[in-house]
Structure 1
Amino acid sequence: MVRFIFMKKKAEQVQEEHFRRSEYLLNQLPDIPLSSQLRVNEQMLRERFESCSDVVINKVTLAKGEYVLIVFMEGLVDTHVINSAVLKPLLEAHIYSEAEGEHENDLAQRGQLALASTQIVTKLSEVIQGVLNSSVAVLTDGHESAMLASVDGAKTRGVEEPASEAVIRGPREGFNESLRVNTSMIRRKIKSNALKTESMTIGDVTHTEVVICYIQGIAKESIVNEVRKRLKNIRTDSILESGYIEEFIDDAPYSLFPTIQNTERPDTVAASLLEGKVAIITDGTPFVLIVPFTFWTGIQSAEDYYNPSLYSSAVRFIRIIFIFISLFLPSLFVGIINFHSQMIPTSLVLNFAAARENSPFPTVIETMLMEVLFEGLREAGIRLPKQIGSAVSIVGALVIGQAAVQAGIVSAPIVIVVAGTGIASFTIARLNLSHPLRMLRFVLLIFAGTLGLYGIALVTMAILLHITALRSFGVPYFSPLAPLIIPELKDAIWRSPEWKMYRRPLNTSSGHIRRPKGQKPGPAEEGNEPV
């Protein structure tokens, strides 16, 4: 026993030593100043980039026999730009003048390099980080500094229509994986110097660039500060997608309901910023996070604001009805059939009984099996190629459903209920809001199969208590309904015309709460009739 404890402690010590060593290797970018000797700088860079076949470290001989070290990452930079805008000016210019005391790094200050973004650095870590961030480093002999020139040439996906938020009317452009392309798409929609984009780096290994985007004077300073604080407190080695950040800054990480919105649409981000919200843009992903996020935002679509208000309001009511159908229809069916059959007409009860005559399982088991099967078909349709995914899911549902009924495994009413529930779940505007409803559907089924309508009422009360207690960056999750803010109901359950919505949300906006009041449309005034 003593030997076992000793060996366990020894193993833990070895593991801790390995962890410390690996952590040191991952984070070893000390602030070593650059040397005035080019060969020393070259040696340090080659040691740091050892076994990195995509790093190019070339020593270029200039006209007067001097050497210049060029360092860049192949595949992240545009080599044509390096040849024309960096190497050519260095080879043709008067590199060093004893009278003026100029050197190669002065070329950036004198504008002789045809590049928009250049900077002078004096530390080895800054050179390494610049090379990893798609810059070319130029180092010269006799000077303790280097020049970084941004020549980003990485291949990125073009601007396409977002697949997860398709609309019939509205812009067809969506974010891509390039951070600067995404920020420029927002700039195109909000042409104001009040639009601020604060950059920070997260991840000890990936060094992922993250941008906080907000409109100064509209966004609440407390929300912006809270976003900054949560992002700076993230301690991890990698950020590969915005979902990583979402888990770190979520208000309720163990809640089924999302408190952070994600979108691929620049118009959705622009509209949210104008309401005082804050956007978090992550390099390498087309999904932008928006905070705060409320339940009623989840039923709103970007297309609601491009169609007439009456039509958009009617569509929102339909979405709310289908949200209830998606959540409660299977459990209500099971609860009423098993415990409260007197609530439905006698002829319908007899039809259900006749349909279930040959079924070997209880109603709750049948419904649960069909729900699991439907979720599996939906997941298969997503993972399969687009050309065959939808066909397989539809054909699979029809064939399997019909075969299950004919084999007597399930009854026809169960198939109808599950199919109706699945169709209703597709009407939810935000995909991340449909996830908790799909999971809670099974919880309601279990309680409906054991307690009937009383079980459904119990779970419903628990859900309402939970979502009314949730907060997203200090904003009540169920606002403006709980707490009740009557002016903001104009854009929650229904959508009022644009000329009526002249107040920004009170929970997110600060300072400029009132928009310029819109002009009510109507007939032309006297003397202004069209000719």
Structure 2
Amino acid sequence: MGFLNRTITKIFKNPTLGHPNPTRELPKEPLKENLQDNIEHIKKALGNSTDLVIRDFFIGSKQQMKAAIFYTDGLADSKAIQDFILESLVLEIPDLSLEPEKDNYSLLKNHMLTVGDIKDATEFHSLLTSLLSGDVILLLDGYAKGFTIGMRGWKDRGVTESATETVIRGPKEAFTESLRTNTALIRRKIKNPNLWLETQQIGRMTQTDVSIMYIKGIVDDGIVQEVHTRLDRIDIDGILESGYIEELIEDETYTPFPTIHHTERPDVIAAALMEGKVAILVDGTPIVMTVPTTFVSFMQTAEDYYQRADVGTLVRMLRYFCIFISLLAPSLYVAITTFHQEMLPTTLLISLAAQREGVPLPAFIEALLMELAFEILREASVRMPQTIAQSVSIVGTLVIGTAAVDAGIVSAAMLIVVAVTAISSFVLPAFDLALTVRMLRFPMMFLAASFGLFGIIIGIIAIVLHMCSLRSFGVPYMSPLAPFNLVDQKDTFFRMPRWAMFTRPKLINQKNLVREKSTPPEKPGDLTEE
């Protein structure tokens, strides 16, 4: 397997394949002093695109200097351009006169431009990147440099409730496709100057903004450095969603288990940051990733910490029970009905035998057909329009299941097993983990049909060994279960009271372990006593 991984990596990750220039940075061509030459160069570079807006004008009451602004229609705020740039330089008469012998560039930057985000532009590559990102470019005649003004104003979806991670008690807000909106949602949760944000562009074509957020003083510096190293290694033509980044930085590719956790809830990201994790945000997607992650984190939800500890513990144990049902229920049915009938009570055995009397297929083929049919219906309901998807999935399941039982293709017991398995998979909070269980369900049924309960035990041992071998940015995937850490068991199968969760996960955070210094609440005295 190691040789295969190295061979595939060598073939598919060769930086010289797919493009003649493996370097990410393009040659930097400096701006020219002649304004008209700069205008022609920008037009030519963008192929005279119709969404490029160019406005040339004169600055000053006596029209001493010629200038031009550039922006992309639909990405920049046109009203702000009119109010804070054109009116300041054209309509209003500046108090300061422009003279050839003065440094007019600094005069404009420090006294006339009433904008906050302004940077110098000296070469075409970064200028064009800023222009296509929604910034406004201001160039002056006679200067081989210009201004990059931040006035991005495209339309976004707005902050709405999460459609995939709903809660009864808790914040009803989710991330959007705007990177700056997402960072603001996190900063609303954590108002601390130690919450640091670093941004870089990845993708030769898309130049997608990718940001990492972490809390300095809590996060392990080695994890931050590892995130930077893996992001810097990415050399690809485009990043359209966080899934691109996830595949390129994960520790292990050939595994069904997700090793990077992602969510669209700001409160989940805030809680992960306070545990010492690093958040990775990608512009253009509402999905935010956190690293490192463990298997236990996929079984936790935000609502576990908004309810009482006993309620959160009960619901969490129910999830662990459901993951075993979702993974093993069809396999156990196949193994027991095929090899271990003596394990069933006589009455139940007679009932199952009577149901399977007219079924011509073995139990394994019967379970395989029903599971495939349900997976097809589930995938169809996801791809269909939402107005009819729910009706089609429910009606399709009922019709197909009832028709299969009436036709004698499957037994009624098998239909019940498949239905309970499907419902149990919906209880899992992480969709990635639910996909993993759905994938592993089929080889487990094959082992059960081949070797009975011994095959199921072999499959479970193989899965556990594989999970124990995984790492997420150097952190063991099964921690704090393997390696076992008694202190961190307070938030695995059980959710201890808030005052008892006074330390952060030890393997994720190595230097600031103390989360709080709370003590158990004292019982008040009897108010009826005098």
TM-score range, shorter chain: over 0.9
Distance 1:18 1:44 in 2: 30
- What corresponds to 1:7 in structure 2? none
1:429-448 to structure 2, matched below 5 A, reads 429-448=429-448
Paired residues of 1:480 and 1:489 also in contact (CA < 8 A): yes
Question: Structure 1 counterpart of 2:420, which letter?
Answer: G
Q: In the TM superposition, what whole-angstrom CA distance separates every residue of 1:409-449 from its partner, at most 9, and x where no partner exists?
A: 11111100000000000111111111111000000011111
Say if 2:55 is the partner of 1:58.
yes
1:18-167 to structure 2, matched below 5 A, reads 29-62=26-59, 63-65=61-63, 66-91=65-90, 92-94=92-94, 97-98=98-99, 101-103=102-104, 106-110=107-111, 112-167=112-167
- What corresponds to 1:184 in structure 2? 184
> Offset at 1:510?
3.3
Question: Structure 1 counterpart of 2:36, which letter?
Answer: R
- How has the CA–CA distance of structure 1 residues 28 and 253 changed in structure 2, closer, same or farther, with 3 Å as cutoff? closer
- How has the CA–CA distance of structure 1 residues 381 and 19 changed in structure 2, closer, same or farther, with 3 Å as cutoff? closer
Distance 2:516 2:347 in 1: 60
- How has the CA–CA distance of structure 1 residues 391 and 109 changed in structure 2, closer, same or farther, with 3 Å as cutoff? same
- What corresponds to 2:226 in structure 1? 226
Paired residues of 2:77 and 2:154 also in contact (CA < 8 A): yes
Q: In the TM superposition, what whole-angstrom CA distance separates every residue of 1:241-285 from its partner, at most 9, and x where no partner exists?
A: 000000001111110000000100000000000000110000000
- What corresponds to 2:341 in structure 1? 341
Question: Structure 2 counterpart of 1:74, which letter?
Answer: D
Distance 1:500 1:19 in 2: 54
- What corresponds to 1:5 in structure 2? none
1:318-467 to structure 2, matched below 5 A, reads 318-467=318-467
> Offset at 1:20?
5.1
Paired residues of 2:24 and 2:235 also in contact (CA < 8 A): no
Match of 2:463, SS?
Answer: helix
Paired residues of 1:108 and 1:119 also in contact (CA < 8 A): no
> Offset at 1:30?
2.3
Question: Structure 2 counterpart of 1:245, which letter?
Answer: I
Question: Structure 1 counterpart of 2:75, which letter?
Answer: L
Q: Which shows bigger deviation, 463-472 or 32-41?
A: 32-41
- What corresponds to 1:209 in structure 2? 209
The RMSD of aligned alpha carbons is 2.2
> Offset at 1:238?
0.5
Distance 1:18 1:59 in 2: 43
Distance 1:44 1:105 in 2: 25
Paired residues of 1:217 and 1:510 also in contact (CA < 8 A): no
**TM-score, normalized by length of structure 1?**
0.93
Paired residues of 2:69 and 2:138 also in contact (CA < 8 A): yes
Question: Structure 2 counterpart of 1:42, which letter?
Answer: I
Distance 1:295 1:413 in 2: 32
Match of 1:71, SS?
Answer: strand
Paired residues of 1:90 and 1:104 also in contact (CA < 8 A): no
> Offset at 1:522?
2.4
- What corresponds to 2:474 in structure 1? 474
Distance 1:483 1:152 in 2: 48
Equivalenced residues, count: 512
- What corresponds to 1:14 in structure 2? none
- What corresponds to 1:13 in structure 2? none
Distance 2:247 2:93 in 1: 52
Question: Structure 2 counterpart of 1:79, which letter?
Answer: S
- What corresponds to 2:174 in structure 1? 174
Question: Structure 2 counterpart of 1:64, which letter?
Answer: K
**TM-score, normalized by length of structure 2?**
0.93
Distance 1:447 1:286 in 2: 39
Match of 1:375, SS?
Answer: helix
Question: Structure 2 counterpart of 1:33, which letter?
Answer: P
- What corresponds to 1:272 in structure 2? 272
> Offset at 1:359?
1.1
Structure 2 gaps, min length 5:
1-15
Distance 2:236 2:529 in 1: 65
Question: Structure 1 counterpart of 2:102, which letter?
Answer: G
Identity of aligned residues (%): 44
Paired residues of 1:105 and 1:120 also in contact (CA < 8 A): no
Distance 1:182 1:421 in 2: 36
Distance 2:197 2:25 in 1: 29
Match of 1:160, SS?
Answer: coil
Q: Which shows bigger deviation, 239-248 or 449-458?
A: 449-458
Structure 1 gaps, min length 5:
1-16
- How has the CA–CA distance of structure 1 residues 369 and 475 changed in structure 2, closer, same or farther, with 3 Å as cutoff? same
Distance 1:331 1:100 in 2: 86
> Offset at 1:39?
1.4
- How has the CA–CA distance of structure 1 residues 410 and 115 changed in structure 2, closer, same or farther, with 3 Å as cutoff? same
Q: In the TM superposition, what whole-angstrom CA distance separates every residue of 1:306-339 from its partner, at most 9, and x where no partner exists?
A: 0000010011111111110000000000001001
